[in-house]
């Protein structure tokens, strides 16, 4: 008489074979979006560029079609840092970056004149930089980069005249995406 096979045992054996017998597979860690704007490393980096800089609470009202709107739609946050009384500072935004979102935004940035760039000492997947001049002839910088599955944007004027000027802040913003 043939032996009776337990169908549950067969199903479990198949699952284990297909999953490598339960051996953990190496998976690259996904990044995180900070849960608040009180990111000590970012505040320190801003303070190194602009003495007395701190987090400046801001009531955002994003308009559809803007990067801020897309960051909020993706569940991200936008944080302004600087010296409010001197009207000097910048904004860092973080959001999880699905492939679809990143491709869509990259296309828009390229159309707007952003150029692909490599950020020193940041292991980003891809980065786009725009340098322009404001109405008051002050330089304006926007840096968008994708790291650990997170889209990070840094934008500033007045105190950033080159990518090198922004490096400490950009590096701190990138570090904030590392899982703890």
CA atoms within 13 A on the CB side of 8: 0
Q: How confident is the model at residue 17 (pLDDT cuts 50, 70, 90)?
A: very low
- Residue 71's pLDDT is 95
Q: What is the helix (H) or strand (E) element at residue 133, kind and residue range?
A: strand 126-133
Total domains, the chain: 1
Share of the chain above pLDDT 90, in %: 59
DSSP annotation of 58 = -
**Assigned domain for 65 exists:** yes
- Residue 81's pLDDT is 95
Write phi, then psi, for 5 (nearest 5 degrees): -100, 130
Write phi, then psi, for 157 (nearest 5 degrees): -140, 175
Full residue range of the structural domain in which residue 61 is found: 32-175
Supply the mean pLDDT for the chain: 82
Q: Is the model's pLDDT at 19 over the cut of 50? A: no
The single residue listed with the structure tokens 């500072």 is 89
More confident residue, 135 or 119: 119
Rounded to an integer, what distance in angstroms lies between the CA atom of residue 31 and that of residue 116?
Answer: 22
Rounded to an integer, what distance in angstroms lies between the CA atom of residue 142 and that of residue 120?
Answer: 16
Q: Is the model's pLDDT at 145 over the cut of 60? A: yes
**Assigned domain for 13 exists:** no
- Residue 73's pLDDT is 93
Question: Which token pair is 93?
Answer: 């935004």
> Which residues face 16 on adjacent strands?
none
Q: Considering only 11-20, 26-35, 146-155, which range has the smallest mean pLDDT?
A: 11-20
**Assigned domain for 22 exists:** no
The 10s digit of each residue's pLDDT in 102-112 is: 999 999 999 99
**Assigned domain for 17 exists:** no
- Residue 1's pLDDT is 45
Contact yes or no for 142/159 (Cβ under 8 A): no
Question: Which token pair is 65?
Answer: 């079609």
**Assigned domain for 124 exists:** yes
| CATH number of the domain within which 143 lies | 3.40.1000
């Amino acid at each position: 008489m043939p032996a009776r096979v337990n169908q549950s045992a067969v199903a479990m054996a198949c699952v284990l074979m297909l999953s490598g017998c339960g051996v953990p597979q190496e998976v690259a860690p996904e990044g995180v979006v900070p849960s608040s704007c009180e990111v000590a490393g970012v505040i320190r980096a801003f303070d190194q560029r602009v003495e007395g800089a701190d987090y400046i609470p801001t009531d955002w009202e994003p308009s559809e079609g803007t990067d801020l709107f897309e960051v909020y739609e993706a569940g991200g946050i936008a944080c302004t840092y600087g010296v409010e009384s001197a009207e000097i500072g910048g904004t860092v935004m973080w959001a999880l970056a699905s492939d679809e979102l990143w491709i869509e935004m990259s296309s828009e940035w390229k159309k707007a004149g952003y150029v692909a760039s490599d950020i020193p000492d940041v292991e980003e997947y891809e980065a786009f930089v725009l340098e322009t001049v404001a109405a008051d002839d002050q330089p304006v910088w926007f840096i968008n980069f994708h790291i650990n599955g997170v889209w990070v944007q840094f934008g500033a004027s007045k105190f950033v005249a080159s990518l090198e000027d922004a490096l400490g802040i950009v590096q701190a913003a990138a570090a904030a995406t590392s899982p703890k």
